Amino acid sequence: MATTFAHTLDLHIRARYPLLYVATAEEDRVEAVIRAVAERLQPARAVQEWDVVRGYPGLGTAKGLPLPALDVIDSGVGDTPSIFVLRDFHPFLRDHQVARQVRNLARTLRTRRQTVVFVSPVVEVPPTLLDDITILDFPLPRYGEIEQHLGTLLQGLAQRLEPATLEVLTKACQGMSLTRLEQVVQMSLAERGTLDESIIDRVLEEKRQAVRRTGVLEFINSDDDLDDIGGLHGLKSWLERRALAFSERARRYGLPNPKGLLLVGIQGTGKSLSAKATAQLLRVPLLRLDVGRLMGSLVGESESRVREMIAVAEAMAPTVLWIDEIDKGFRGVGSSFVGDSGTSARVFGTLITWMQEKTSPVFVVATANNIDVLPPELLRKGRFDEIFFIDLPNDAERREILEVHLAKRREHRLREFDVAALAERSAGYSGAELEQAVIDAMYLGFEARREFETADVAACLAESVPLSRTKAPDIDALRRWAAEGKARLATG
């Protein structure tokens, strides 16, 4: 939040961090905060802004060239207490000489009351500079700021909105930059000639696009709820309790927002299903993060992406952020990782730090098939509220799962099926495999132009080989891990 950002910035400046980096497209807003902080410092700091086209207007120098821009700081202005804001400097940091001069500055500035702040729309810091440059996150505007900004904007345009509309609009705008907000207002006005409540839909559409633009987040539409899950009673009752804590009422009571949970289990045991049901239970949108894609982005770019992803997810709050198959994306991160100069480790670090520290109502549901490839830091206390192991369904659970899937397709004939007998014959089958047997049985009945029956499901079960037969060692390993007290049993 803006006050917190000002506070963080102030602290870093006073602690003589020489080089700061703020990633935001909102230059105006961040520079206003920098100037305000500079003024309040003792002694006050002069603010010099540089960009490649204008150089330093305040000093009349260093147009067009990045190296002279740094030389000015290094030698030109002596000891005047200053903050140098370098806009869009990131492409220059790739240059060897520039990078070297930046590192020289890191040393000289420590003894002076001078700070360099890089302001760029993206985080692109070469690995060699990461120890010298501190990246600060510039948060999106808060309710009060949006309200104020909208007020000024509407006044300037001689437009009025009903107070109720204005309130809904302000809420809808949370998670948008002020720049984007201005664009939306202008667009609406250009289109309709006057502002009315249709602007709210436009804002919501804009946010949906923001999700798409990340390239790694996707809205998932699903109406699966807890009743669609057979078994897993421990997990379900835990979720029901947490759902209560995910409310405004719980906030007022002083409870923190729940952080989220990690679901571990072999394929087909209902992890993805549980993620979807969680969003239904909390009545919030479900955002799925494609970790493979996040990690697959170009080196450097994935670091920007993870920050952008976090900002967008927070902007959509309250929401469920579903990190599917987190083990695939972060396989072995933290151990000897070769080939990408630590990008994966940093992306992972950014993500888990956020998970640990976040206070916003973003409920994370991460799923994993395998734990021994997961970085141990992920499993440490504080990242998740709980870690659940989803085992293969036991007898009673198989009965419930079969009932769920039979009822979905033949509600009226459910009693005709001998679910207990089928459950008995299907030890070792996962929920997905039980569902598949029901579907296969329907094919049999359909081909024979009759209704399908218990015998058909039994035949299909007998014909298929459950994954658990070949995966037995994996399952045993997971069971041992859970039995060591590392995870709670979802069965309950």
Cβ pair 90, 117 in contact under 8 A: no
Evaluate whether 234 touches 482 at the Cβ level (below 8 Å). Answer: no
Select 350 or 430, whichever has its Cβ closest to Mg ion. Answer: 430
Q: How far is the CB of 427 from ligand ADP (least distance, A)?
A: 15
Residue whose C-beta lies closest to ligand ADP = 431
By CB under 6 A, which span of 72-80, 205-213, 264-272, 469-477 interacts with ligand ADP?
264-272
124/435 with CB nearer ligand ADP = 435
Residue whose C-beta lies closest to Mg ion: 272
Is position 270 an interface residue for ligand ADP (rule: CB under 6 A)?
yes
Instruction: Compute CA distances 386 → 6, 325, 454, 490, whole Å.
Output: 34, 17, 38, 11
DSSP state string for 358-422: --SSEEEEEEES-STTS-HHHHSTTS-SEEEE-PPP-HHHHHHHHHHHHHHHHGGGGGGS-HHHH
**At 371, phi and psi to the nearest 5?**
-105, -20
> From residue 423 to residue 452, what is the string marking binding to ligand ADP with x (rule CB under 6 A)?
--------xx--x-----------------
Coil, helix or strand at residue 70: helix
Alpha helices, H only, 246-339: 248-253, 271-282, 291-296, 301-316, 326-329
184 binds, among Mg ion, ligand ADP, none (CB under 5 to 8 A by kind): none
Q: Which two tokens stand for residue 139?
A: 């948060």
Pick from 278, 273, 246: which is nearest to 259 by CA?
Answer: 246
- Kindly determine how many residues on this chain lie close enough to bind ligand ADP according to the rule CB under 6 A: 18
From residue 364 to residue 403, what is the string marking binding to ligand ADP with x (rule CB under 6 A)?
Answer: ---x---------------------------------x--
Q: Does 260 bind ligand ADP (CB under 6 A)?
A: no
Q: 98 or 438: whose CB is closer to ligand ADP? A: 438
Overall residue count recorded for the chain in this entry: 492
- Closest approach, Cβ 435 to ligand ADP, in A, equals 4
Q: Least distance in Å: CB of 488 to ligand ADP?
A: 16
| Nearer to ligand ADP (CB atom), residue 218 or residue 340 | 218
Q: Contact between 273 and ligand ADP (CB under 6 A)?
A: yes
CA of 191: how far to CAs of 78, 159, 316, 477, in Å?
53, 14, 26, 61
Quote the CA–CA distance of 125 and 104 in Å, as a whole number: 16
Q: How far is CA 96 from CA 102, 286, 409, in A?
A: 10, 44, 65
Quick one: 268 or 329, whose CB is closer to ligand ADP?
Answer: 268
Residue 27's Cβ-side half-sphere holds a number of Cα atoms within 13 Å equal to 13
Q: Tell the smallest beta-carbon distance from residue 270 to ligand ADP (Å).
A: 3
CB of 401 to ligand ADP, least distance (A): 4
Of residues 174, 222, 267, 454, which one binds ligand ADP by CB under 6 A?
Answer: 267
Q: Report the distance separating Cα 365 and Cα 275, nearest Å.
A: 6
Of the candidate residues 272, 274, 302, 491, the single one contacting Mg ion (CB under 5 A): 272
Binding residues among 220-259 for ligand ADP as defined by CB under 6 A: 229-232
Region of 34-42, 162-170, 263-271, 287-295 interacting with Mg ion (CB under 5 A): 263-271
Binding partner at 130 among ligand ADP, Mg ion, none, C-beta below 5 to 8 Å by kind: none
As a whole number of angstroms, the longest Cα–Cα distance in the chain is 92
- Cα 323 to Cα 159, 328, 355: the distances in Å are 42, 11, 12
- Kindly tell me which of 309 and 401 has the beta carbon lying closer to ligand ADP: 401
User: Would you tell me which residues interact with ligand ADP (CB under 6 A)?
Assistant: 229-232, 265, 267-273, 367, 401, 404, 431-432, 435
